[in-house]
């Protein structure tokens, strides 16, 4: 079962999908929600969302909070120190785990910047967006949409 680590300021909260499903929350309009927790009512407004970075900015009864959500994959990447390695310039993008290529978001010859989404890899019932770790030009894409890949397999070559 997937466990989530939710960071609000300096506080970390663990949650399971069951915890999320058990929330008594309804949308009242647009980005406004009504939440009941322990017989207390809360007015929640979604102020901004960066789904790629899994960060939200919400207001709860008028108080603003910035939230970062990490699933098990994000936690593993952080614990393995892969984020530190990602800051280095790479010429080869390899599949971080076995999975299925759901979408390729770049083309050969395309210039990309750090943070540019390159492809979507479905693994462990999750969609993972693989992003560029630096600037460069896509030299080749040896995989195709709907192709299964193995861990470590070359998926994009950069120059």
Q: How does residue 2 score in pLDDT terms, banded at 50, 70 and 90?
A: low
Distance CA 58, CA 62 (A): 9
What mean pLDDT is reported for the chain? 87
Within-domain flag for 81: no
- Residue 84 has a pLDDT of 53
Q: What is the number of domains present in the chain?
A: 2
Q: Is the pLDDT of residue 77 over 80?
A: no
Q: Are 93 and 152 part of one and the same domain?
A: yes
CATH value at residue 127: 2.40.50.100
List the strands of the sheet with 24-29, edge to edge: 11-15, 4-8, 63-70, 55-60, 40-50, 32-37, 24-29
Within-domain flag for 126: yes
- Residue 102 has a pLDDT of 94
Distance CA 37, CA 51 (A): 25
List the strands of the sheet with 148-149, edge to edge: 126-131, 117-123, 99-104, 148-149
Give the tens place of pLDDT for each residue, 12-33. Answer: 999 888 888 888 999 999 899 9
Q: Are 63 and 99 part of one and the same domain?
A: no
Block residue for tokens 């193995």? 150
Distance CA 67, CA 86 (A): 23
Structural domain containing residue 138: 88-158
Within-domain flag for 24: yes
Give the tens place of pLDDT for each residue, 82-114. Answer: 555 444 456 888 888 899 999 999 999 998 888
Within-domain flag for 80: no
Within-domain flag for 36: yes
Q: Are 9 and 65 part of one and the same domain?
A: yes
């Amino acid at each position: 079962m997937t466990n989530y680590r939710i960071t609000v300021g300096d506080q970390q909260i663990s949650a399971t999908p069951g915890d999320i499903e058990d929330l008594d929350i309804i949308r009242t309009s647009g980005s406004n929600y009504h939440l009941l927790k322990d017989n207390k009512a809360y007015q929640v407004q979604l102020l901004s969302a960066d789904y790629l970075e899994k960060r939200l900015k919400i207001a709860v009864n008028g108080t603003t909070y910035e939230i970062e959500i990490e699933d098990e994959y994000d936690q593993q990447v952080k614990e393995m120190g892969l984020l530190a390695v990602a800051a280095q310039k790479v010429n080869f993008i390899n599949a971080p785990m076995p999975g299925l290529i759901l979408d390729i978001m770049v083309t050969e010859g395309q210039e990309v910047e750090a943070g540019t989404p390159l492809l979507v890899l479905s693994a462990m019932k999750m969609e993972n967006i693989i992003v560029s770790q630096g600037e460069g030009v896509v030299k080749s894409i040896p995989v195709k949409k709907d192709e299964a890949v193995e861990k470590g397999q070359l998926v994009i070559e950069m120059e």
